[in-house]
């Protein structure tokens, strides 16, 4: 994986190369192995490299020629079907200069097929190609949006990068947040409206989109979206097809010229991937995460019925993996809230982020690539909101909770500005308009299809963003096999009674993996990414936020209802009656979110307008 940054500037003024260098250097964590530039006005391209495939031959920016005209690529991602495409391109007469670089496959695919090449890719990617002959910049993002790509257009210049910080390093881009951006942060929580960021000037190329930019205009088109049709396979065939797709994608994603491990929580998804990795490689190393003394403080609930430690070790023993449990210090966890904020460029999932950052740092000491189980619950319908009748019937995003309670902690001026209920409902209605429904479905089936679409296109990006930013902040590449677009397309149309066969959530996935794991793992209930229950963490966060409330110049004071929040802190009262976002983000996470929000406004010099 890598970091990419650059701009196209059609003005007659000579560009300052130092701007490109600043933008690219801000992404050095994404590519610690190399940094290089392509500078030929009107285009400036920068690349930082994390060498995973063909370390000696995959340097970027990479240039090949179409006739006499150079075509130059910068690329962040992995192409899992590169060997097949390479053979096809060779049969068409293309000559390769590298041993097995997927970067060169991407570049020659564009030269051979133009923008249509993205339809041939199986992988995760964000790429930018400067086509000198056509004086055009072409950009694309993978179908599920695993790899990020941000952009803005300013003064007839297109500016882009892998992370928001790279754009903010350009002098034309200012950290302006308007009412809509403030609403994104305060109401949608860590989730975002696709294509938007909190910053008014910065957009994100949506998953499955391409962008072209020339002197005449910028064009954005969607090349992939979910399509609904009748599922024709019977139960046994469906199980077989899921198993085939999983085996194939895990095999492809284990391919690397550097060490590969898997993340193993002891849940169905990570255990299944680890089992398939063992089947493919014979042996593998696995990692899980926990918190100091968490066993003393763990509190089972509807949302987190049990802890991972026992099941992770049980799965590791069964699969005979070399397993290591990373135990995180709770004070360090609180101190990592700031580094995780800077990795994300926005307030995020609080300690759910900071723990993954610390976890990734430990894994990176030995490994460069890891496989992880994200996306299975969105794709197969594993979250509680798929199975709770009251939640299914709610006319809003199922993971956005307690809006009334959240508003108590905001001041009236902010509430009037962001129009909370109108904002949420507008976003919700816009999302529902995208859903590709089937005409012959029952009302319940239609509703579950809606929730699945919302989960895949609105909630899943939150977890993919988190995984990308926290791991890449450490120079660790985390691959997510359950996001393989072939698997997502297939499972999307499986009827719900078949998805939940055997009377269990994700029953079809349990069947597909049933011969690989012990029954205790196969039938384990959904348990999300672990959080700390240790009061040391809560007290540390509480002290940080109390200091902010007592500092008259704190930016947060312009947004919150100070008295309401301060009363809760002083009395050690619960801020919320249940998680306010998803399944895990409760009182402590909200306090940590507010702490991050204050530091973000201060350190990023955010301009609220």
Catalytic residue set: 2
Token pair for 106 = 């991407």
Backbone angles phi, psi at 151, to 5 degrees: -155, 165
Q: How far apart are CA 602 and CA 426, in angstroms?
A: 30
Token pair for 193 = 């409206």
Q: How far apart are CA 149 and CA 137, in angstroms?
A: 14
Q: Report CA torsion sign: 206, 210, 213, 218.
A: negative
Q: What is the number of other CB atoms lying within 10 angstroms of the CB of residue 497?
A: 10
CA distances from 95 to 72, 86, 89, 326 (A): 16, 10, 8, 46
Q: How far apart are CA 460 and CA 483, in angstroms?
A: 10
Q: Which residues, 6 or more positions from 604, have their beta carbon under 8 angstroms from its beta carbon?
A: 168, 175, 345
Nearest residue to 594 (alpha-carbon basis) of 551, 553, 560: 560
- Planar angle of CA 98, 100, 105, nearest 5 degrees: 80
CA distances from 40 to 12, 17, 45, 301 (A): 13, 10, 9, 58
DSSP string over 199-252: STT-EEPPTTEEEEE-SS-EEEEE------------HHHHHHHHHHHHHHHHHH
Token pair for 32 = 């610690």
Q: Is 320 left (phi over 0), alpha (psi -120 to 50) or beta?
A: left
Nearest residue to 152 (alpha-carbon basis) of 62, 23, 60, 262: 23
- Dihedral (Cα; 385, 591, 560, 555), 10-degree rounding: -130
């Amino acid at each position: 994986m890598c970091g990419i940054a650059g701009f196209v500037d059609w003005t007659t003024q000579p560009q300052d190369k130092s701007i490109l260098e600043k933008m690219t250097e801000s992404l050095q964590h994404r590519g610690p192995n190399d940094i290089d530039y392509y500078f030929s006005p009107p285009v400036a391209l920068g690349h930082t490299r994390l060498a995973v495939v063909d370390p000696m031959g995959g340097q970027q920016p990479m240039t090949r020629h179409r006739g006499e005209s150079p075509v130059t690529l910068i690329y962040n991602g992995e192409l899992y079907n590169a060997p097949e495409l390479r053979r096809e391109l060779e049969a068409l007469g293309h000559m390769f200069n590298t041993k097995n670089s997927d970067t060169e496959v991407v570049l020659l695919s564009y030269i051979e097929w133009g923008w249509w090449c993205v339809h041939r890719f199986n992988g995760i990617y964000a790429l930018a190609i400067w086509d000198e002959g056509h004086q055009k910049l072409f950009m694309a993002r993978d179908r599920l949006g695993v790899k990020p790509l941000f952009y803005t257009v300013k003064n007839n210049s297109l500016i882009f990068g892998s992370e928001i910080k790279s754009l903010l390093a350009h002098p034309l881009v200012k950290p302006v947040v308007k009412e809509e951006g403030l609403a994104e942060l305060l109401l949608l929580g860590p989730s975002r409206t696709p294509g938007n960021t909190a910053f008014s000037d910065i957009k994100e190329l949506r998953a499955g989109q391409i962008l072209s930019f020339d002197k005449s205009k910028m064009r954005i088109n969607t090349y992939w979206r979910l399509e609904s049709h009748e599922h024709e396979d019977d139960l046994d065939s469906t199980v077989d097809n899921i198993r085939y797709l999983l085996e194939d994608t895990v095999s492809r994603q284990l391919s690397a010229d550097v060490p590969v491990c898997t993340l193993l929580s002891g849940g169905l998804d990570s255990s299944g991937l680890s089992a398939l990795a063992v089947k493919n490689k014979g042996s593998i190393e696995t990692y899980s995460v926990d918190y100091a003394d968490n066993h003393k403080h763990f509190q089972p609930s509807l949302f987190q019925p049990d802890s991972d430690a026992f099941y992770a070790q049980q799965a590791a023993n069964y699969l005979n993996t070399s397993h290591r449990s990373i135990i995180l210090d709770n004070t360090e966890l609180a101190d990592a809230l700031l580094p995780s904020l800077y990795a994300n460029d926005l307030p995020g999932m609080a300690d759910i982020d900071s723990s993954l950052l610390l976890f990734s740092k430990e894994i990176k000491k030995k490994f460069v690539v890891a496989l992880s189980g994200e996306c299975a619950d969105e794709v197969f319908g594993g979250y509680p909101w798929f199975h709770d009748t009251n939640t299914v019937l709610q006319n809003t995003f199922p993971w956005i909770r307690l809006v009334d309670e959240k508003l108590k902690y905001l001041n009236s001026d902010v509430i009037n500005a962001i129009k909370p209920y109108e904002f949420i409902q507008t976003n919700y209605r816009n999302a529902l308009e995208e859903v590709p429904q089937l005409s012959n479905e029952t009302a319940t089936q239609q509703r579950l299809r809606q929730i699945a679409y919302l989960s895949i296109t609105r909630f899943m990006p939150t977890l993919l963003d988190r995984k990308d930013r926290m791991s890449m902040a450490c120079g660790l590449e985390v691959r997510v096999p359950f996001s393989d677009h072939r698997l997502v397309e297939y499972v999307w149309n499986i009827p719900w009674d078949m998805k939940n066969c055997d009377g269990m959530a994700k029953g079809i996935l349990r069947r597909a993996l049933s011969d690989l794991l012990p029954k205790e793992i196969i039938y384990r209930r959904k348990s999300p990414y672990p959080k700390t229950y240790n009061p040391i963490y809560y007290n540390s966060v509480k002290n940080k936020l109390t200091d902010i409330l007592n500092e008259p110049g704190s930016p947060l004071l312009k947004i919150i209802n100070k008295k309401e929040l301060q009363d809760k802190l002083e009395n050690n009262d619960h801020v919320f009656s249940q998680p306010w976002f998803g399944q895990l983000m409760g009182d402590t996470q909200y306090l940590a979110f507010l702490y991050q929000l204050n530091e973000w406004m201060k350190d990023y010099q955010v301009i609220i307008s």
